[in-house]
Amino acid sequence: MPTLTAYDLIRDTKPIYTTPDKTILDAARIMAEHNIGSIPVVQDGEKLVGIFTERDLVRHVARGTPLDTKLSEVMTTQLVVAHPGDSLPILAQKMLQHGIRHIPVVDQEGKLLGVISIRRVLQYLLAESEHP
């Protein structure tokens, strides 16, 4: 069985994202509506410029950051990303090394292609180990 890649995991999905001018509350609502744990922040319609996660939300709520604060002020901009050709072991390694549960997949120009969760990586790794 050939090794699956990041592209294989996102090929049938459409990325859900928001823009830097949206607020913490906007991001929380989108994440709740779509049952996702992070929301990529995209500028100019496609370029990934940040990510806002459940951890970010909890941190800012605990600090008392106003919920109308723009994502551009609070999003994570030091991004760990995957590329379409990254294998499952590479995805898992990046996520473990950086302590993240969601990894955006981008092309060479930084265009957002999708997001992969640690749950999805684990599902495929377990499936591969059961059926080598």
CA of residue 97 relative to chain centroid, distance: 15
Per-residue pLDDT, averaged over 108-132, amounts to 84
Instruction: Match domain 6-130 to its CATH number in 3.50.50.60, 3.10.580.10, 3.40.630.30, 3.40.50.970.
Output: 3.10.580.10
Each residue's pLDDT tens digit, 70-87: 999 999 999 999 999 999
The SS3 of residue 29 is helix
Q: Domain map of the chain by residue range? A: 6-130
Phi/psi at 105 (5° precision): -105, 125
Q: What is the pTM of this model?
A: 0.90
pLDDT for the residue numbered 132: 54
Confidence band of 2 (pLDDT split at 50, 70, 90) = low
Buried b (16+ CB within 10 A) or exposed e, 19-33: bbebbbebbbebbee
**Over 90: is that where the pLDDT of 112 sits?**
yes
